[in-house]
Amino acid sequence: GAVVSGPIPLPTRKSIITVNKSVFVDKKSREQFEYRSHKRLIDILSTGSQTVDALMKLELPSGVDVEIKV
């Protein structure tokens, strides 16, 4: 019974880490690793207590966070 708009894609945060391939010399040989964080916004309007309870009880895979603002 709730009105839902979304998912709305938010900007992706990208973090690049550069490390040397070798421990001692060869500064020119480097390797880059990238971490991307994707976010989505789902706006739920005119919710009832059952909707909020159902959202709180959701079981999500590891690495997925849910933030609920009232």
Give the separation between CA 8 and CA 41, rounded to whole angstroms: 5
Tens of pLDDT, residue by residue over 1-30, are 678 888 899 999 999 999 999 888 888 899
Tens of pLDDT, residue by residue over 53-64, are 888 888 889 888
pLDDT of amino acid 1: 67
- Model confidence band, residue 36 (pLDDT cutoffs 50, 70, 90): very high
Domain ranges of the chain: 3-56
**55: enclosing H helix or E strand:** helix 49-56
Strand pairing partners for 6?
none
pLDDT of amino acid 2: 78
Q: pTM score, two decimals?
A: 0.61
> How big is the chain, counted in residues?
70
Angle (CA) 16-19-20 rounded to 5° is 150
Q: Which CATH code fits 3-56?
A: 3.30.70.600
Give the separation between CA 13 and CA 38, rounded to whole angstroms: 7
pLDDT of amino acid 34: 97
Residue type, 60: L
